[in-house]
Every structure is written in C-alpha cells, then in structure tokens.
Structure 1
Amino acid sequence: FDNIEGNCAGIATWETPAVQDCSESTLTSNYSSGTVFALGTHLVTYTATDAAGNSAESSFEVTIVDAEAPFFLNVQAELSFFTTPGQCDGVATWDLPQAADLCGGATATSSHGSGSVFPIGVSEVIHTAIDDAGNEGNFTTLITIIDGEAPTISNMPLDVTLDAPLGSCSVPVTWDTPTVDDCTEVTLTSNIAPGSEISIGIHVVVYTAIDLQGNIAESFFTVTVLDVEQPQISGMPADIVVTNEFGLCGAVVSWDEPSVTDCSDLASVTASLANGSFFEVGDSLVTYTAIDTYGNETSASFNVNVVDKDGPVISGLPTQIEIPNYPGQCGSSAFWSDPVITDNCGIDTIQSNTPPGSFFPIGESTVTYIAVDVNANASTHNLLVIVTDTENPQIVNLPAPISLIPDSVTCTAVANWLEPGFIDNCPGGSITTSLPSGSTFSVGSTDVMVTATDEAGNTTTESFTVTVESCETSFMRGDTNDDGSFDISDAIYILGYVFSGAAEPPCLDSLDENDDGFVQIADAIYHFNALFLGGPLPEAPWGSCGVDPTPDSLDCESYQSCP
C-alpha cells in the first residue's frame, strides 16, 4: 500500500480469512483491517482456536511504500543577474539546493552548478531530488542574464569652432560619425546630422546609443559658429502660468530658449532666472540680455506666474470611529488625537465642528475638520462617529408561575396576568408575549415567552410558566363495584372479573387494591385481609375520591360515585 499523503504511514485493508473446523472456533489477529502501519514490512498473523483447544496460525506481510516525491527547501523559481563588466555573459550564483523528504533522506543534483556562466537572456537550471525510496522530484529555476552595461561610443569628433561668412548667420558643418560597441544590436542617433547648416552660436551635438536591453549611452561635442553682426533676441516665451508641484510651494518651470542671432560675436547671453529653475508661488519676471562684442545690448522679458493649487493635508485622523454606549446612557463620548495638518506654503486657519471627548448620541454623527492655507485653498476631513447601543432592555414585573385547576368538562383553564414592562437606556422599543393574558391553556405546563426589543434591535427574552393540573377521572380504590361502600361484594366483583370472564369494569384502577398495576386474585385477597383480618387498607385514593398517583397501564374511564 502507498503511504497516506503527507504522512510516513499508510492504511492497509483486507478481507478477514475464513475458518473451517468440526467444532466452533475463534479467530484472532495481531492487526485488524484498516490499521495504520508505518513505512516498511509488517507481519499480520491470524490464529484460529477450536472448542477442543486446537489452534492454527496463518500469516501474510503488509508493506507500506513511500510513494511521495521529495521536495526542495530553498530553490527559487527565478533569478536575475547582470552581465560581467566588459563581457557578453554573466555568472549566476545560488545557495546549494537542499532536498528534503517527509519519510527519510533525499539527495539533490542540478543541471548547472552555482557560479556557472550563462549568455544574455533566459536559461533553465533543472534541480533533481531523489529520496531513499527512489521517488524523484524536479524543480526548474529560470536564470535571466541582463545586459547591464551601456553601449560604448568611440571616435567622437572634437569640438569645432567656425566663423560665419559675412552676411550669413550659418555655415554647413560636417564630421565623421562615431562608432559604437555593445553585446547586442545598437541604435545610434544624433540631434544634429553631419553636413547640417548650423547657425551662429554654440551647439551641442549629442549622440545617443540604445541597445536591445534599453541601456543608454550619450556622448557629445560642440560646434561653435561665431557671429559678427548685431545680436537679436527672438522666440521669447509668452507669459507662463503653471501650478505648483505637489507638496512644494512653487514649481520648476522650463521653456523653449529664445534665439539670439548677430553678425558679430556675442559677449554674453544671460537670463535673470535660469530655464528649469524653481519658482516660488506668485509672479516672477524673467529677463534675457544679449551683448555683442561692440557693447550693443538687447533685453526681452516674460512673466512666470506659479499658482498654488494644493490645499492643506489633514492626516492622523481616522475616517470612522465605532464605540459602544456608556452603560445606562443613550450615547457615549468619543476621543481621538488632534490631526496633523501640513501645507506646502503654510496654514492660515483650522476649524472643527466638534472637539474630541464630546458626547455623541446613539447613531451616526459627522465631525468635520476644515483647514485653509495662506493662498485660500481649503481642505476638509470628515470623521464618522458611530455609537452603537449594545445594552439589552430589562424586563420588569414578570408574572410569577401560575398554577390552575382545569374545567372538569373541557380540561382547560383560562390564565390572566398583569402585563410585564421593560426599561432601557434609550427611549422607544416594544414588548411582546407569546400568548396574551386571558388565553386558554390545556392540561400540562406551558412556557409564556416575554420578549423586550429596544429601538436598536437589542432583545431580552424571559418566560413564566402556566401549569394546568391533571384532568383524570376520580375514583375510590376498593369500591370496585362503584356502589359507594367497601364490603365483601367488592372482593366478589374482583373474583368475577378475574375468573368468570365478566365484562371489563369501566374503572380498572378501582380493582387494583395493592396498586401494583395489575388486576388479579392478589387484589381480592388484599380486600379480604383488610375487611376481615385487620390487614392494610387499599392504596390511595382510599376513603375519598382521587386520581391514581402511580403511573400504570390501567385506566378509569368512568366512576359514578365520584364527581
């Protein structure tokens, strides 16, 4: 049999062998079918013993086999490594795989060892575990070698400086395209192509190389074209309106640089505030000034307006508080820590409609915090306070148990009681009874359930008992012929019923004088002893009408001498 999954044992079942013998025999065994056996082989022996003491034995072996594969404790499904610097492959390392088995030892092997070299891309390492029973389990680790090196750009041109021809503000410039080395295919681009017409000024030629892994390398050189004419500023940005960056009282603002052209060299081109600078909330004037070598100066300006769009941040407050009511009260006080309010530019006012520690009624109440910053941005935070009524109502004036004598005709009785009430920590609610006062009850005990329910749905249920006494036929034991007297005719009546086959009396209980549950000659003898020899009188009810106090199978359907 195979082992139970996850257990180093198995259940063995078999049919019980048959025994044949000339006399009755018993069969015993050291194990029974359905026994849980540990791994390995076990001898099951059956012994048969007959009535003469002769015995015979027969045995068979039960073998429990480990059928579960081993598993690994520390092998990962995926591992990633970067290439070795300067190479197009990489070394992958991992902890020595540890194999385990529920029912013994296990050995582990791998298709590659830790420290193996793998090419760029995804490779598989297969780990194999074999346990002592020869079960085998495999696990595959995906090794990903990532090209982590950017391409190498070589043979970049040197910086170039040229004079623009007189009457011209540009000049064609050419250069040799640089070379690129990488382990994968590379795309090389530049912002300016060789042979382009380059205008007066300093130009940065940027070459960008991107390989298949997304690694990027950049290299650049400058081309300077000198101008001998008056500078001119063109392409000035229009006024800029931006919103602040989140969490900051300002923003980094960038724009397209204006163009400055001139037919002479430029001494300087300056801006009062740099492109990409951090601008505080409000208005800032950006002025560009160009000066050529002859001292001619040109200026142009534009406005940057940064608008604060972020309201204050209200933190440290829950969104909801749920609390039970105070005992005996229709509400509770709620407490919370004051909020932490921050703003990128500064706080002006903080308000709330309800302070911590206030008393809240049963139900839901909303606490609102409003924070306004110095730029009139407002933020709100609503805290929902839920007070739950957890207190059950209390029933008062619960009726005591009621005991009633039934009507002799209907065997029922009417019970009346004062209606109970209830009290609760909160107003409202209702009280109900399973049966109303004035209900008619049958013989026996009936529980009347009283349930009080408050406005929150909390309930309390209590009960009282209405008991209607037994409605059995009354008789007098010993007056067997129901003639109102205790004499010898009653004993003769018993003997006539027991031996003469007379009709069954309407009240057999009156004949059972010793109250043993049977009508027989012993009851007649009992009657004679009581009548003539001073023996014990009949059992109750005797001397007056009543019901049989002892449960038995005898009935009393009617008895004329008792009401």
Structure 2
Amino acid sequence: MAIATWNTLVAIDNSGAVITPTSNSRSGDSFAIGSTTVLYIALDPNNNIGRCEFEVIVIDNELPEFTNCPSDLEVMLMGGENSTLANWTEPIAKDNSGSVNVSLLSQLPSEFLIGRTLVIYTATDPSANTASCSFNVIVFSSDMLMIACPADVILFTDPSVNSSTASWPAPVFNSSIVVAVNSSHANNSRFEVGHAVVTYTIAGKDGRNASCDFFVTVIDNESPVFSRCSSNFVSSASPSMATGTAFWVAPTASDNVGVTKLTSNYEPMAVLPIGITVVTYIAIDAAGNRANCSFNATILDNEDPVFTFCPVTLEFMADAFGNVIVPTSGMPIATDNDGPLSVSTNYNLAMLDVGSTTLVAFTAMDDAENMATCNVNITVIANSGDSPPVFISCPSNIVVSTVMTQSYALVTWAVPQAQDDRSTPIVIEQSGYMPGRQFAIGMWMVIYVATDSIGQTAFCEFNITVLDQEDPVIIGCPANINEVTMNNAPIVVSWTPPTASDNSGEFTLQANDNHAPGEMLNVGMYDVIYTAIDPSGNVANCEFEVIIENDAPPEFISCPSSTVVPTDPGQPYATVSFSYPNPTDDRSSPMLFGSHGPGTQFPIGDTTVTFTAYDSASQSAQCVFVITVEDRGDPVIIDCPSDQTVYVLSTSDVAAVFWTPPTANDTNNFTLTSNRNPGDEFETGSTQVTYTATDVSGNTDTCSFSVVVQETLPTYDTTGSVNLVRIGSIASPFAASDVQTRLPALRDDMDRLFRTSSVSGDFVGITVTGSSVETSDKALIEFVIYFAGSPV
C-alpha cells in the first residue's frame, strides 16, 4: 500500500454556482500496488456533468525479505564415506505485496561430496524484486585435514570513529588431527571501514596445512555532524530595495570517515528578498550519509512608505443632496520599497462638512507596518445647480490569485450604486465585465459609468489584479544516477530530461552547468539541476545527482598452484585438500563460485579446477589450477597357479593342460594377458606360462608358472567301453567307415575329458582298442586308460 496525494480539484460553471466535485478516492488515501482509476464528477444545478479521470500507479520497489535463512551447515563423515545427505529447514520469505515465490537458484546434488557446496535460495515477488539467501553445506571426513570458516561478517562503525570491533564464531575443523591453529586477525579485533580478509590456517599431525578465508566488512552508517550551524539571521533591506544582503558564518561539518561534499542553496552575502528565507547546508560523507543544517535568514523592511504626491489643499464638491463627492483622481499618492500599501484617513471623507475646511491626515502603511503621513486641507463646496450623478459605492482595487492549476481567477464584486439629484442614473460597465467572470493573469481595469437624465456622467473605476502564485510543476525528474566505469575511463551518461507545466501555460526550463543527456563524464559526483520559471517569477527545481564510480574487476590475492598427487591407497582417486582462493574487489565483497572444493576426490589424470569471483557489477576474475592424480601403484595378480605336471605315454604325445586363470586388482582399469591359455596342448618338456596385468598408467605385475609334460610308464591300467550315438559332428546311424575315420579325434577328446576329471593327477593316457557298429545304430568304442601310481 502507498498514500497518494494530489492538488484539490476545482470545478467552475457558467451558472456561477459553487460546485464541489465528488470522487471514488480522495487525496491522502492508501492505494494498493498496481494501477487504480480515480474519477471526479462535477454536477451543476441543471444536472450537467463534468468528469476528470486519472490513474494512481503504485510501484512496488521493496525487496522480499528472508525470515529464517539457514547458517552454514557442517556434516562430519565417518567410516571412509565420501558423500552424505544434508537436511535444513527451508527458508521462508515475506514481501509487502503478500505474495512471494521461493526457489533454489540451481539444482543440488542428491548427496553432498566432501568439501563446500554453496546453496542459494531466491525470493521473487510479482514485481520481479528479488532477494537471495545463501549458506554453505560443508562436509568433512573424520581423517581429512579441512577447515571451514564462518560466514562473512558485516557490521557498522562505532559512534564517532571509522572502525568497529568484529567477532565471529570459531572455524570448524577436525580437532583430532590438528596440532596448531593460527589466524591473521584475532577475534574481537577492530577493523576500519572497508573490506578485510581474515585467514585461518591449521596444521595437521602429518605435516600438511589447510586454510580458509572470510571477509569482515565495516560499513559507515553515521551521518556527518555540523559545527556552528548558524542561528536564525536577521538583517535589513537595502535602501529603496525589496531585498537585503544577508551575512552569516558558514557552518562546517565533520565525519568519522571524512566529509566529501558540502553544498548549500545560499552562501553568505547572498541577496535575499524581504521576509524569511530558509538556508540549508547539506554535508555528504564518503559512504553517502547525509546531514542537514537549516536556519532562517530574515530580511526586515524598516523603510517607511513615501508620499510622492501630497497636495497642500483639495476641494471636494457636494451634490444637490449635500452628499460629499470624493474624487477618484488628484488624491495623495504613496509608494513603498516592498509591494502594496494600504492608505487610510483620520476622517470619513464622505462625511466632511459642506462649506468647511478640514485638515485630513492620509496615512500609508506597508506590510511591515511602516507608515508615512500626508496632511491635506480639504474644503467641501456646495453645489449650486444640477449635479452629475454620484457613485455611493465603488469597489476598491481587487487582488486575487489564480484558481489552482488554471491561468485565471474567478472574481466577484458588488455592482456599484449611483444616485442623482434629479433621477435614478443608469449604471453601465464599459468593458463588458460582470461579477463572476474569469480574469486571466495580469491587471484589468473595470469602469462603470453612471448617466443621469440630462446626460451628466460619473465614473467608478477599480483594478482587478490576478496574481499567479502557483509554481511550475516539473514532471519526470530523474532519480539519482549511479554509473560504473572501468579503468577510470570517461563514460556517456544519459537520462530522460524532465518536462514542465505551468498554469499560465508559459515557462522556461533550463539545466545548470550545461549538463545534458549523452554527455561524457569523468569519475566524480555531479549535481544536475533543472529550473522551471514562469512569467510571474515562480520557480520549481528538479535536482538529482550523477555519480560516476570506477569499478575494477575482482582480483585474486591468492590462488592455489597446480599440484601432482598420488592416488589414495587402493583407490582410483586422490582426496585433495587446498586453500580456497582469496578474491578481493574495490567496491564489494566478491561472490566466489568453484567447480571443486577442498576434500574433493579427484580421478586419475588431469582435472582443471576453476574458481570464479563476481563483483556487484557482474565483473569476474578466474583462478584456475590443475590437480594431477598419478596412479603410482602396480596392479596385483591374485591366485597365480602353481607349477603343473602332466603325464603322457610317449615323448611324441602332446597333452592338453588345464588350470584356473589368476585374477588381478588395481586402482584403475587394467588388462590381464598371458602367453598360453587353459586347454592349450603342450609338448613333452617344460614350458613357462606368464600372465601380465597392465593398468592404463602402464604399471605392470607378472605371474609365471611351469607346465611340465613328461613321458611316464603307467603302473596300472583299466579297460572300458562306451556306446555313442554321436561322434563329433556325426550322429547315428553310423557306417563302420565313418567311425574308423573319426577314432583319432575321438581319442583326443577322451584324453582331454580325463585330464579335466577327478583322476587327472594320475592320468597318463588313453588308447582306443576297437570299435564296432551295433544293430541299434550305436557305435561301441573300446579303450584302455593308463595311470601312474597305485590303484585305490
């Protein structure tokens, strides 16, 4: 809601009736955000309607406000975990509009990794005003050297000084592995206005260090203080002038951080008009805090009026009825250095005695009650014949102000009355002016003529002066303009010039110092004043400031160097800690965003870590370094087979040898290769089988064993037979010739079969001793199996 005010609306009508408009809203009412139509209706006695309609627009420029923004959240991991869930109370925001939308600025991970994650909520109202709430989720490992600093500290200066004492919560770290804690500033230290970086550094038991930073910002919210703010000053007007020279001792101002600008609307020895003028000094400090010193400079009118025409004698005529005719010309005239006068007499001139002479004192008095006197002997002479008409009432000069927002005034007066010694005279206004008429700004002479029956005339004259005392109205006065430039370069500044209006319809609008939109301005502060003046000397000012500030992009005071680290034992990654980069800026505390945080698990290889600092003007700077994780551990081959010995019947025989292949472990991807494979055929003698594990970093491990094939005389044998319905790729019914041609391959298959069976340790060989085809279409195969050792 907002309160809106406007000038009172006046309705006029040719009927001359006084009309009071009615409306659906009044000046001073409260209006909701948005546009509201205000309608005024004026109704004259004949039910004719006049309408005036305008919009009241209430703009919402108030930001939403978070009522419960969480503090930084610390979570400690145990048992080798590298991520966790984090819980907090969702922040709530309120807004003057009654409606606000709270949302996360970006998607959060399902679980928070070791390190610092920035969480930002935004609150947006229907007018797109936005506020933010941010905090960090800091995840520690119980065995990790990591430190989390408190949030930035913002505070105001102590009274009368340019500093303040800052205190903050202790940083968070795993105290069980920390042997020393150092800080660049002690808690409860004093900080001067501006930004300071506080750095905490911890030393771990293993010799490693870790650090963190935060800002302490001290803001000056103390206004300057005036000394010798003058008391009200009184002086006299200069001779014959409506102005006077005013002198005072200019005040001075002091401030806890220094006054950068001291301005006033008037300076000592200024020429001021008669009356009271308010003199105002404004002091502004480096933080933009303001203080006012105001006092009254009064110019007194001590100069008496002067009669420029003061006759010694005057003669008045009396009409036939004995009424004194007071002339309208030839009377004493007085002037004054300051405006209109009132002239009075010690006698009622219309009541002077006919035929006598009276000493009459004419007294002129100005607004300051200064007086002058003119003494005149007035003789009243009786009328001896027909007398001309006489006005028995004639209005005095009339001075009125214009109707608000109009260039005219509605003026009424009583119509003059005349009498004659012979008949009732006819009274006519010569210019067609009637009471209730609109008179434009300026002076107008109204002349009534009274004519009697024999053509004699009398005149009643008075002036109507319509004063314009309404100041012009400046429309669209720009707000203060704040622009930022870089490298102290001049910048083009533009604004929409204001416009003006005046009830008179005539005015001039000009700007001071020739400052105009599109001008190239250097770094500094510029006062731009537009002044509108109407022909009556009424003045309105529009004043705003153009402030050009230099803004350099953020800079990093510190940025970690690129580093090479080994993988964590038995892991395909390395957990790397580093100090957060430390950005600074000449105008604000930069916001820091990073791709990775301290304590992040980095994979094998090169990972580029980028931190970006943004200042309030969205300028940015980057800190970039590379974390290189090297895989310095060899793969490990597990379950390497022992030496293998198999038997054959003859040195010319070969044997298929079987074993369980080994496996391997590595922190990274690897390949496992060998020169021979299970099931390969080996000739008699000793053959070395080698397995090699190689990871992507080229690290290797080998495993070797011997396969010995030796001729052995069997110590016992056994015979057997088997009926087959399929031999290799041939299925029954068989022809005897088919069976004979496939017996060598069948013997090899049966040899392999027994070498993978439970008797493989004593198995020497097998021979096929015969074959036949049964009438049932089965092939009967007869064989002898040879063993070494003793039969069970």
| TM-score bucket of the superposed structures, by smaller chain | 0.3 to 0.5
TM-score, L = length of structure 1: 0.37
- TM-score scaled to structure 2, two decimals? 0.28
Q: Which structure has more strand as a fraction of its residues?
A: 2
